[in-house]
Each structure stands twice: as structure tokens, then as C-alpha cells.
Structure 1
Amino acid sequence: MSVLDVGESGARARTRRAIIEAAISVITDNPAATLSDIAEVAGVGRSTLHRHFPERSDLLRAVALHVHAASNAAIEAADPTSGPIHAALRRVVECQLDLGPIVLYVYTEPTILADPELAAHLDTGDEAIAEILARASADKPEYPPGWSRRVFWSLLLSGYEAMKQDHTPRHQVVDAIMNSLTEGTIT
């Protein structure tokens, strides 16, 4: 069961899923979009949206949980613990970039990060990446705890920004992230 379903089935689950997917699409293009904008794209009325998500913060929480679950599934599918370290990192970088700029929004939106429980949950799921980064930097100078992980995610966030704001091609962003990782934190 995905976080989109939240124990629901049938039409109610499809409506909820449509609202969350519409929110992701709309917010990616316009972070200040109104609930009316999202309802219109979802093909539902505002009252229907409010039955599922009484407050904007409820919808943002659902979007954040969905994006986090998609990120974790992408990490698992990229299988970062197999093969050469650089190839594994490239797979992870590529799969995370494929999620799109909504990731940048979720992990930087103050409303989302203001919820301590949600923020703590969003800070989980990348243990396989942390492990491969630790292996890759084992023979490097000692960095502060968690440094490689922070650098990895910062580079991804920069990559999302470059793709969205500067229209930098995906392959250039992947190469830039990999060069930054391999030349900076993990040779």
C-alpha cells in the first residue's frame, strides 16, 4: 500500500491520489499556488479537496510523505550497495533527479520542515546512500559526522535548481554532481 492510499480504497483513494498528484504538478510550477488551483488541476471541487485535506498543511504533509516514499523506492531500485561505488552513486543521483523539482520543494519548504515529526521522518530512508558514501570516503581525511550525506543531498538540491531555473540538461547535472562528489568528497 502506498502513502497515497492511506488505508482507503476505491473512488475515495483515487480522488485522494488525484489531489496529491495535482498538488505535486501545480506546486512544482508555482509553490504559492492556491488550493483552488490544485483542485482545478485535480478535477475536483474545493469542497472535495477540503474533505480529504482540511488545511493546506494537511495536503503538504501528504505530498511530503508521497515524495519521501517515492525517493526511498527509487533508492532501493537503484541498488546503491551493488557494483562499483561510482556506478552505484550515479544510479542514485539519476533516480533522485528523475523525481523532479518537487523534491527541492519538500525538503526546503518551511511549512513542512516546521513539523518536527514530519521533518524527522523525512530525514530517514537513505541509509544505503550514507553507507556507500562512508565506504567511498573511508580513506579520505576525516569529515564531520554525516558530512558526505549532507554534501550528497546538497548537490542534488543544487541539481534540481539548475534543471528548473537554468534549464540545464539532466545529463550535465548528473555529470556535475558526480564530478563534485568524486573530486570533492570521494575520489
Structure 2
Amino acid sequence: MSVHLLQTATSVLLRDPTASLGDVAKAAGVGRTTLHKRFPTRSALIRALANDALDLVESALSQVDFEADDAIEDLVTRLLVLEPRVSFLTRFPGLEKDDVRILALDPPLLDLITRLQGSRLRRDLPAWWILRTLQSGLYQAWEAIVAGRLAPLDAPRFVLTTLFEGVGSGVGAADRT
């Protein structure tokens, strides 16, 4: 399956989530019959795009040394460059409910966060909350990049500053009262 076709299909569906296979074929410069041979239904195309996005995420995660001091910085940088193909996963509700691959992404991240709690991340917040904060930051950065509000090279700094200053190991507002 060509990378161009996957990238084009992702772009078309992100721009218009109701786009037909015909719309995708036209944008990709292939015939509808060709596209239908590879993806008999719109649902099959969406599942293929989700699998492609998961392949990209898994590949990025496999390149991160989770024991390194800068693992979280490396992780954020690697994930941010995957936009827009990865943000596709967040735009089509229901993909995460039935995909064990999506659920399998959390444990190594939770382990990393737990390891960093007390040193670089706050101990008084649950690891799952910090993970959701990180995921939200990545999503917001992807959205801002696509909208042209955030330069891709600035995105890691924005996400990491928000993560460490928002859930960093410093004294929280509740502790100051």
C-alpha cells in the first residue's frame, strides 16, 4: 500500500470526515476501482489508516530508550513529527474501543511516568492523569500545527513546558495554602 495513498486518504478524511471513497480516489489520483480493490468499504479504509497510524506510533516508541533521562523529551519529539497521520486516531471515535493495539500503548508510558514521579513529575497526581495530560498536549500541538498556529519545531517545547510546569515536581497550588 503506497505511503502517498495513505497520506492523501488521511488528509482528505481529516479535512472532511464524511468524504467518500470516490473523494479519496480523486485526491490520490487513482481510479475508484483501484481504491475499491484495496479497500472495499469506507470502514476498511479507515481501519487501514488506523493500523498505519499505529504502526508509526509503535515504531516511534520502539526507538525511545525508556530508561534514559531524556526519554520523555525524545518520546514527545518523535510523536509530534508523526502528525497528521497519528491524529487521525483521535478524530474517528470508536477506533480505540476495539483496538488492543491502542490500549497496549499506555503501559510503557505509564511505567515511564511512574519512574519520573517524585523527581521530574509530581507524585501527588496519578500516573494515568499525567499520561492523559501528555496525550492532550500532543493532540493540541498537532491541531495547532495543522491550523498553522504553531511551528512544528516549537511544538516539543510547548508540550514539554506544559507537562513539566503543569505537572512538574514543584509545589502545587494546593500545597501552598
TM-score (norm 1): 0.76
**Distance 1:125-1:164 versus aligned 2 partners, 3 A rule:** same
Pair 103,69 (structure 1): closer, same or farther in 2 beyond 3 Å? same
Unpaired runs of 5+ in structure 1? 1-13
SS of corresponding position for 1:79:
coil
1:93–1:156 CA contact under 8 A, matched in 2: yes
- The correspondence for 1:62, drawn from 48, 51, 54, is 48
In structure 2, how many angstroms separate the alpha carbons of the residues matched to 1:88 and 1:47? 45
Partner of 1:121: 101
Q: Secondary structure at the match of 1:142?
A: coil
Letter in 1 for 2:43: S
Give the counterpart of 2:35 among 27, 41, 49. Answer: 49
Aligned-residue sequence identity (percent) comes to 27
Q: CA deviation at 1:106?
A: 1.4
Question: How far apart are residue 90 of structure 1 and its match?
Answer: 1.1
Residue 100 of structure 1 pairs with residue 83 of structure 2? yes
Amino acid at match of 1:154: S
**Is contact 2:11-2:84 (8 Å) kept?**
no
Instruction: Tell me, yes or no, if the aligned pair for 2:114 and 2:127 is still in contact at 8 Å.
Output: no
- Amino acid aligned to 1:117: D
Counterpart residue identity of residue 51, structure 1:
K
The alignment of Structure 1 onto Structure 2 pairs a total of residues equal to 167
Alpha-carbon distance between aligned partners in 2 of 1:24 and 1:47, rounded to the nearest angstrom: 19
- Residue 135 of structure 1 corresponds to 115
Alignment of 1:151 with 2:133, yes or no, is yes
Change (3 A) 1:98 1:62: same
Q: Distance in 2 between matches of 1:58 and 1:138?
A: 44
Kindly indicate whether residue 57 of structure 2 is the aligned counterpart of residue 71 of structure 1. yes
Distance 1:167 1:95 in 2: 20
Are residues 1:185 and 2:167 paired? yes
**Which aligned runs of 4 or more in structure 1 are off by greater than 4 angstroms?**
none
Name the structure with the higher helix share. Answer: 1
Partners of 1:19 and 1:169 in 2: how far apart?
25
How many angstroms apart in 2 are the aligned matches of 1:182 and 1:91? 14
What value does the CA root-mean-square deviation take over the aligned residues? 2.3
Amino acid in the other structure paired with 1:150: R
Render the CA deviation track for 1:15-41: whole Å, top value 9, x for unaligned: 6x5533431243344444332232134
Work out the CA distance in 2 between the residues paired with 1:52 and 1:178: 40
Deviation at 1:169, TM superposition (A): 1.1
CA contact 1:39–1:45 (8 Å) conserved in 2: yes
Structure-1 separation of matches of 2:127 and 2:74? 24
Distance 1:105 1:73 in 2: 17
How many angstroms apart in 2 are the aligned matches of 1:112 and 1:132? Answer: 25
